[in-house]
Each structure stands twice: as structure tokens, then as C-alpha cells.
């Protein structure tokens, strides 16, 4: 890097977040606060002891804690506070556009109505739009450890709120739950006008990425790390410029990679893959957008051009209009031209 310190450089980049589970932005402090007002006793007696539990050997160990944490969310205000806290944080990091996942089934299966969940999230997103100028899309994720029938029920519950939802995704335990399990519900979701994305190739094999593309017809792959084991797949991703929304601190925390120095993003950029960087579950993995950019750029010694490419790719991969994308990309380029 040249004269501008890396953290300063990263802070100034106008950024977009395309891979963020709102339940994964639940900071321990807010979790304790909401638990208290909802008269729920957490299994941990302090914020410190909760944080100590945040060491994971794989995706499932994380998911077990993540679903437990989400159980304190009961009321519309809780979902609002959760979302607002996230948006306030990323606004301070110069994130200007977000495409946020929520997991309706994590809540509806506990008896919290779909309406309660989505209204709280939606109101916070709208407030951030008017107060911070952050634009947004909302993505409803189906939990892949549950049945396709359960996903169909969620699709039906979403009907009254279709105007607020831009797309559907697929998350939770990947291994043993291939994309093809959700073929019919993705087809039905597309018919309702939802855009389609899916987590694939985080822990699961490259075959799951093929399935997400060919069976589910997704427009973007969440994670996709494992694509590098399959040359034909890489060729396809490059040719069709199918975005991969990578989450570096998540990959280290869940042991998808051993250390940040082994993150595949630089290799992916070299091959011409439309790779982007995001935070996944920042409250659990130790970093929001800036930290993900910082740690990746630092460990891989990325050049200014590579960092700029990642920021540009984020906007390219988003669901903004072509004009909106162009306007953001122009600002990214102007920013990089202004720093030394
Ligand atoms: N992978 C799968 N499901 C998830 C994740 C993830 O990284 N985060 C929240 N749900
Ligand atoms: Zn994710």
C-alpha cells in the first residue's frame, strides 16, 4: 500500500453489503438487553461468558449458538432494534447499500408471526433509507435443514409482504442438504417475482454450486469458496459473471479455511471471477464490512487496484438498477483516484 493507512483507505470506500444475516448481527450487549425486557434468562450469566462461547469448529457449531441467540427476539420492536443497530454500525463504515437476509422460520417455528418479524425489519430499513440514505433489498432465506414443504409454507406466509421482499435465499446446514432439495419451492418463488440466491460451496462440494445454478437458477452464489476445485465451474462463473459473495472472517471463524492468508479471494480475482466481500454474521465472527476488507487486504497484501475491484464488484453484483450501479461505481473510482 502507499501512503494512506489501510484502515483509513477501507473506511473511505463506498461499500455494499450483499451477504448479511440480520440475526447474525445480534451483538451480545443488545441480546442481553432484549432478553431482560422479555423476561428471558440466557444460558450465559454475562456478556463475557457468552462471547467466550463464540469459538466454532464448523458451520453447525455456529448455527447451534446462532439459533439459540435468536430465541430472545419476540416482538416487532426487537426486530426493529436488531436491524437498526446493524444499519447504524454499517452507516458509520460508509456502507451505502445493503441486501439483507432474514430467516423467517427461525422465528415462525417459535410462534412469532411472520408479520412481527418482517415489519420490525422493514421499518428499520425504511428509517435508514430516509435518515442515512442507505438503499436496501430484503432477502427471505429458507432453512435448508428443514423440508421443502416447510419452505413452501414460508413462501405462502410471505405473500402479503411481497412488495417488501426482493428475493429468496437458502442457508443453514449445507452438507447433506443439497440445493436440489428445494427445486420446486425455488421455481415457485421465481414465479412470485422473487430473485434467487443460495449458499453453496461453503462447506459443501462444488457440485452444490452447479446445482444452485442449474437446478435452482440462482443469480448469485453465497460463499462459493469450493468452486476452485472445479475448472469447468470456474470457467462458467467467469463467462457468465455470476457473483460470489465471499465472507472472509466467517471463513476463518468456521474453519472453512485455516487462516486468512489462505483465503481464495485474490486467486478468484486473478481468474476473473466476480468476487465480492461481506460480513455474513458480524456479531459472531468479529467484524463488519470494514474489518472484512481490512483483514483480507492485509493478509493477502492486496493492491489498491484489487481492493477497488472488490468494491466495484459489490455494486455490480447488487440488485440496484444499471444507472444506480454506475453512479456508485463512479464514486468508488473517484475515491480511489483521490487517495495516495
Ligand atoms: N452459512 C449457512 N447458513 C448461515 C450462515 C452461513 O454462513 N450464517 C447464517 N446462516
Ligand atoms: Zn451466510
**pLDDT by residue (tens digit) across 51-106?**
999 999 999 999 999 999 999 999 999 999 999 999 999 999 999 999 999 999 99
Q: Which residue has the cell 462461547?
A: 53
Q: Which among 247, 179, 244, 245 is positioned nearest to 217, based on CA atoms?
A: 179
The CA 174 to ligand 1 mean position distance, Å, reads 9
> Can you name the residues that pair with 195 across neighbouring β-strands?
167
The CA 223 to ligand 2 mean position distance, Å, reads 7
> Cβ contacts of residue 13 below 8 Å, gap of 6+?
94, 293, 307, 308, 311, 332, 335, 336
Q: Which atom of ligand 1 is nearest to the CA of 171?
A: 3
Catalytic sites, residue numbers? 202
Q: Which atom of ligand 1 is nearest to the CA of 223?
A: 7
Q: What share of the chain in percent tops pLDDT 90?
A: 99
Q: Specify the pLDDT at position 2.
A: 65
Give the pLDDT confidence of 130-180 residue by residue, as tens digits: 999 999 999 999 999 999 999 999 999 999 999 999 999 999 999 999 999
Q: What share of the chain in percent tops pLDDT 70?
A: 99
Which ligand has an atom closest to residue 256 CA? 1
Our mutation pick for probing the ligand 1 site, out of 208, 280, 292, counting the most ligand atoms within 8 A of Cβ, is 280
Contact 218, 237 (CB under 8 A): no
Span 310-328, mean pLDDT? 98
Q: Which among 144, 143, 62 is positioned nearest to 110, based on CA atoms?
A: 143
Whole-number average pLDDT of the chain? 98
Q: Specify the pLDDT at position 160.
A: 98
Which residue is closest in CA terms to ligand 1's atom 7?
A: 280
CATH architecture of 6-338: Alpha-Beta Barrel (3.20)
Q: What are the grid coordinates assigned to 148, written together? A: 421443502
Q: Specify the pLDDT at position 150.
A: 98
Our mutation pick for probing the ligand 1 site, out of 103, 254, 281, counting the most ligand atoms within 8 A of Cβ, is 281
Give the pLDDT confidence of 211-226 residue by residue, as tens digits: 999 999 999 999 999 9
How far, in Å, CA of 145 to CA of 317, rounded?
A: 27
At residue 217, what are phi and psi to the nearest 5 degrees?
65, 40
| Ligand 1 in reach of 222 Cβ (< 6 A) | no
> Cβ contacts of residue 327 below 8 Å, gap of 6+?
none
Q: Specify the pLDDT at position 3.
A: 85
Span 180-196, mean pLDDT? 99
Q: Specify the pLDDT at position 1.
A: 46
| Ligand 1 in reach of 275 Cβ (< 6 A) | no
The CA 172 to ligand 1 mean position distance, Å, reads 5
Give the pLDDT confidence of 236-277 residue by residue, as tens digits: 999 999 999 999 999 999 999 999 999 999 999 999 999 999
The CA 281 to ligand 2 mean position distance, Å, reads 7
Report in angstroms the alpha-carbon separations of 178 from 29, 160, 169, 209.
Answer: 35, 29, 13, 9
Contact 195, 319 (CB under 8 A): yes
Which ligand has an atom closest to residue 202 CA? 1
The CA 244 to ligand 2 mean position distance, Å, reads 12
Q: Which atom of ligand 1 is nearest to the CA of 250?
A: 7
| Ligand 1 in reach of 157 Cβ (< 6 A) | no
In the chain, where the domains are located: 6-338
Contact 42, 51 (CB under 8 A): no
Task: With a cut of 60, say whether residue 337 has pLDDT above it.
Answer: yes
The model carries a pTM of: 0.98
Task: With a cut of 70, say whether residue 115 has pLDDT above it.
Answer: yes
pLDDT band per the 50, 70, 90 thresholds, residue 340: confident
Q: Specify the pLDDT at position 54.
A: 96
Task: With a cut of 60, say whether residue 330 has pLDDT above it.
Answer: yes
- For ligand 2, an ion, list residues with CB under 5 A: 280
Q: Which atom of ligand 1 is nearest to the CA of 202?
A: 1
Which ligand has an atom closest to residue 65 CA? 1
Amino acid at each position: 500500500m502507499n501512503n494512506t493507512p489501510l484502515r483509513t483507505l477501507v473506511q473511505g470506500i463506498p461499500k455494499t453489503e450483499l451477504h448479511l444475516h440480520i440475526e447474525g448481527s445480534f451483538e451480545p450487549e443488545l441480546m442481553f438487553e432484549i432478553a431482560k425486557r422479555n423476561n428471558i434468562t440466557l444460558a450465559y450469566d454475562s456478556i463475557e461468558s457468552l462471547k467466550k462461547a463464540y469459538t466454532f469448529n464448523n458451520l453447525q457449531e455456529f448455527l447451534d449458538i446462532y439459533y439459540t441467540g435468536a430465541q430472545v427476539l419476540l416482538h416487532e420492536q426487537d426486530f426493529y432494534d436488531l436491524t437498526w443497530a446493524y444499519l447504524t454500525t454499517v452507516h458509520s463504515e460508509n456502507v451505502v447499500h445493503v441486501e439483507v437476509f432474514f430467516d423467517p422460520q427461525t422465528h415462525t417455528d417459535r410462534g412469532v408471526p411472520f408479520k412481527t418479524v418482517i415489519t420490525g425489519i422493514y421499518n428499520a430499513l425504511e428509517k435508514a433509507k430516509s435518515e442515512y440514505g442507505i438503499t436496501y433489498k430484503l432477502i427471505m432465506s429458507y432453512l435448508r435443514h428443514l423440508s421443502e414443504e416447510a419452505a413452501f409454507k414460508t413462501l405462502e406466509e410471505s405473500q402479503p409482504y411481497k412488495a417488501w421482499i426482493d428475493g429468496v435465499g437458502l442457508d443453514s446446514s449445507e452438507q447433506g442438504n443439497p440445493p436440489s432439495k428445494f427445486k420446486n419451492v425455488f421455481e415457485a418463488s421465481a414465479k412470485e417475482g422473487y430473485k434467487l440466491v443460495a449458499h453453496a460451496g461453503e462447506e459443501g462440494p462444488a457440485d452444490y454450486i452447479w446445482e444452485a445454478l442449474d437446478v435452482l437458477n440462482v443469480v448469485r452464489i453465497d460463499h462459493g469458496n469450493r468452486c476452485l476445485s472445479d475448472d469447468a465451474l470456474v470457467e462458467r462463473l467467469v463467462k457468465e459473471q455470476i457473483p460470489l459473495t465471499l465472507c472472509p472472517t466467517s471463513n476463518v471463524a468456521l474453519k472453512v479455511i485455516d487462516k486468512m492468508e489462505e483465503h481464495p479471494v485474490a486467486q478468484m480475482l486473478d481468474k476473473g471471477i466476480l468476487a465480492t466481500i461481506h460480513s455474513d454474521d458480524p456479531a459472531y465472527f468479529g467484524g463488519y464490512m470494514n474489518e472484512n476488507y481490512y483483514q483480507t487486504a492485509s493478509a493477502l497484501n492486496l493492491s489498491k487496484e484489487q481492493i477497488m475491484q472488490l468494491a466495484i464488484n459489490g455494486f455490480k453484483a447488487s440488485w440496484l438498477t444499471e444507472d444506480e450501479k454506475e453512479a456508485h461505481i463512479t464514486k468508488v473510482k473517484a475515491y480511489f483516484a483521490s487517495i495516495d
